Structure 1
Amino acid sequence: MSLSRAPRRTLLAVGVLSAALTLSACGGDSNGKSGGGGNTNFVTNTGGIATAPKGERAATGKLAGETLDGEQLDVADLKGKVVVLNVWGSWCAPCRAEAPHFAKVAKDLEGKGVEFVGLNTRDPNKQPALAFEEDYGVTYPSLYDPQGKLILFGFPKGTLSPQSIPSTVVLDKEGRIAARSLMALNEEKLRSMIDPLLKEK
């Protein structure tokens, strides 16, 4: 590698890291505004949950990789089911607050056409994240995304993308982005994002 290329690669790496850090840590932006601009018709209810009309939903980018348990997971393989994607970190207090609700709803809806997938981010190693899952009874898989690359590149610009930690994005049965919350959720609000999509034909 030439010396002239080294700084360029370093700058690129710093740029990616800086972009990852723009996710507001443990943020509570509940205004539900769309991220990325463009022609968006998102509807935000008073609970801070934004939804996209059925005919105007976008597909995600690639959301695949290694889970905290060392398995390979590709969210695209879950098409045909409603998929709940939860962005979390073991260090995040609001994530800890919502974790019991996610664990309960995931267990209640097991085998009923819903799959939960966590996106674990900013944990520099897996141990704290694995301990978090054990402490809160989280049994569904989480993709390990310490630098936030899946979060940055898995959601196209102008879609209901996760912009804080925690964030929750729910995909419809076609794998399209249907709803998003940028705050910690209780059981009632989480179910309010899932139930309408389960009823869709």
Structure 2
Amino acid sequence: MSRPAFRVSAALAAAAAAALALTACSGSGSGSSSSDTHFVSGTGTSATVPVKDRGAAISLSGQDLDGKPLSLADYRGKVVVLNVWGSWCGPCRAEAGDLESVFKATQAEGVQFVGINTRDLQVPAAKAFVSAHGLTYPNLYDPDGELLLKFPKGSLNPQAIPSTLILDREGRVAVRALQPLTSEQLTKLLQPVLAEKS
């Protein structure tokens, strides 16, 4: 390959990688209603699902950052806050402390947080993120994004990182936020689900 052709090829590859990075770490997403998911638009990019329209329980299991088994089924009966993050994602770093503070404030009320670390090809990078932000809840390790593809169609956009889902006590998606959240925003989304009769 000639030198000019190599330069053009390298430039195209760099542009494609940059575009992928921008898509993968998105601070925004679609919060519009969808007839097949029953999501109802909220403010910004968060959406809720009315109780009567919630689908089946999310069945998700894998390994945590230490290689130990972790399954959402273990938390059935609790309200679960499921946060998708990557150590490479700026908005994820911005919201991490807020997530931990809400976890500590609501744990006694029957709320469990579970993280899904995605697209970190090296476990040490993910563990460094957890340590730096003082996260005390468990995290599934999903380096290739395979776990994200197991969610029902329309319930989670695998390209919107960070994303947060709130599962009701039966394990069904009640709320999704395709954006970074402050502690105030997350608490506001969490309280109605927590107030539901089990």
Common fold by TM > 0.5 = yes
Counterpart of 2:72 in structure 1 is 75
Deviations 1:63-95 (A, max 9, x none): 101101222111012111100000000010000
CA 1:152–1:66: 2 relative to 1, 3 Å: same
Contact map agreement 2:58 2:171 (CA 8 A) in 1: no
Over the residues paired in the alignment, what is the CA RMSD in angstroms? Answer: 1.9
Separation in 2, partners of 1:44, 1:107 = 28
Letter in 2 for 1:43: V
Choose the corresponding residue for 2:132, options 132, 135, 144. Answer: 135
For structure 2, which runs of at least 5 residues remain unmatched after alignment? 1-19
Choose the corresponding residue for 2:156, options 131, 139, 161. Answer: 161
1:173 aligns with 2:155: no
Query: What secondary structure, in the 3-state scheme, does the structure 2 residue paired with 1:143 have?
Result: strand
Separation in 1, partners of 2:40, 2:21 = 24
For structure 1, which runs of at least 5 residues remain unmatched after alignment? 1-20
Counterpart of 1:17 in structure 2 is none
Separation in 1, partners of 2:55, 2:23 = 23
1:100 aligns with 2:97: yes
Counterpart of 1:122 in structure 2 is 119
Range 65-74 or range 144-153, more displaced: 65-74
Superposition TM-score, scaled by structure 2 size:
0.83
Choose the corresponding residue for 1:65, options 40, 62, 65. Answer: 62
Counterpart of 2:32 in structure 1 is 33
Range 55-64 or range 110-119, more displaced: 55-64
How big is the shift at 1:112? 1.5
Larger Rg: 2
How big is the shift at 1:44? 1.4
Counterpart of 2:6 in structure 1 is none
How big is the shift at 1:23? 10
Counterpart of 1:47 in structure 2 is 44
How big is the shift at 1:110? 1.9
Counterpart of 1:183 in structure 2 is 179
Contact map agreement 2:116 2:140 (CA 8 A) in 1: yes
Counterpart of 1:15 in structure 2 is none
Identical aligned pairs, as a percentage? Answer: 52
Deviations 1:121-163 (A, max 9, x none): 000011011011111010100000001111111x1113x2244
Contact map agreement 2:58 2:172 (CA 8 A) in 1: no
How big is the shift at 1:173? 0.6
Query: What secondary structure, in the 3-state scheme, does the structure 2 residue paired with 1:91 have?
Result: coil
Separation in 1, partners of 2:183, 2:116 = 19
* Number of equivalent positions: 177
Separation in 2, partners of 1:101, 1:29 = 18
Query: What secondary structure, in the 3-state scheme, does the structure 2 residue paired with 1:84 have?
Result: strand
CA 1:128–1:83: 2 relative to 1, 3 Å: same
Contact map agreement 1:83 1:173 (CA 8 A) in 2: yes
How big is the shift at 1:189? 0.8
Separation in 2, partners of 1:136, 1:59 = 33
CA 1:173–1:23: 2 relative to 1, 3 Å: farther
Query: What secondary structure, in the 3-state scheme, does the structure 1 residue paired with 2:112 have?
Result: strand
